[in-house]
Amino acid sequence: MTHFFSRNRAIAALAGFAVFAAISYLVVTREVILFDTVVREFIYSLRGSGLTALFRSITFLGNEQTITLLCLLLLLVPSTRLFYGLPLSAAALTAAGLQHALKVSFHRARPDLSLHLIDQGGYSFPSGHSFTVLIFYGMMIFLCRQRIGNKRTANLVTVLLSCLIPAIGFSRIYLGVHYPTDVLGGWSLGICLLMIMISAFLFFQRKESHNRI
């Protein structure tokens, strides 16, 4: 196991899973109603036409269609297929399958339709956007930092994508289609799965390098 996980990634994965388990318990027992209500009311108080247009655009960057298109483009270009396209597609597919199974298992209803600023069906917990985006863009940050030689460019990509992850999560609450605990649950489990995926990628990368020797 120590050859697969680094100490820091193992701690992050366990912490993420523990937080997700705690949030899941509180959601199932309905102990988060007050927290969700207070946070949502504050966020809804910020609503305005300008912010609504902004967050509708931001949330689109976490849509299944957007991530699928990005994966297809990276797979079609020979220079990005192996290092970016394949691992990111695997990450996106794994995240999509797992979040769907979890939503069906928890079957938490979304906030009332009257609060929705966009059309969104399905169940609410955990937030599929928050979960998938943290894994997909988190994996992209990791791969870019491995691949991009220019440190300034790598740092710029890291900052931009790191800001995008919380922005998309916030947009889901602002647009009225998720509870705050949906987003927190998606992020916490996303951290866990991201650490596992990065560890698996590095494990097979080392194994391939060793076989070439």
Position 211 scores a pLDDT of 61
Residue ranges per domain, the chain? Answer: 7-212
- Of 43, 62, 61, 64, which is closest to residue 52 (Cα–Cα)? 43
Instruction: Return d(Cα 8, Cα 11) in angstroms, integer.
Output: 5
What's the pLDDT score for residue 12? 94
Q: What is the pLDDT of residue 4?
A: 61
How far is the C-alpha of 92 from the C-alpha of 114, rounded, in Å?
31
Q: Which residue has the tokens 């309905």?
A: 30
Mean pLDDT by 10 residues, the chain (213 residues): 71 96 95 94 95 95 94 94 92 94 94 92 93 96 90 92 96 96 97 94 75 59
| Per-residue pLDDT at 2 | 47
Q: How far apart are CA 156 and CA 176, in angstroms?
A: 31
- Written as six digits, the tokens of 26 are 């509180």
Which alpha helices (DSSP H) does the chain contain, by range?
Answer: 7-28, 33-44, 49-60, 64-76, 78-80, 86-106, 128-147, 151-174, 180-212
pLDDT at position 212, please? 61
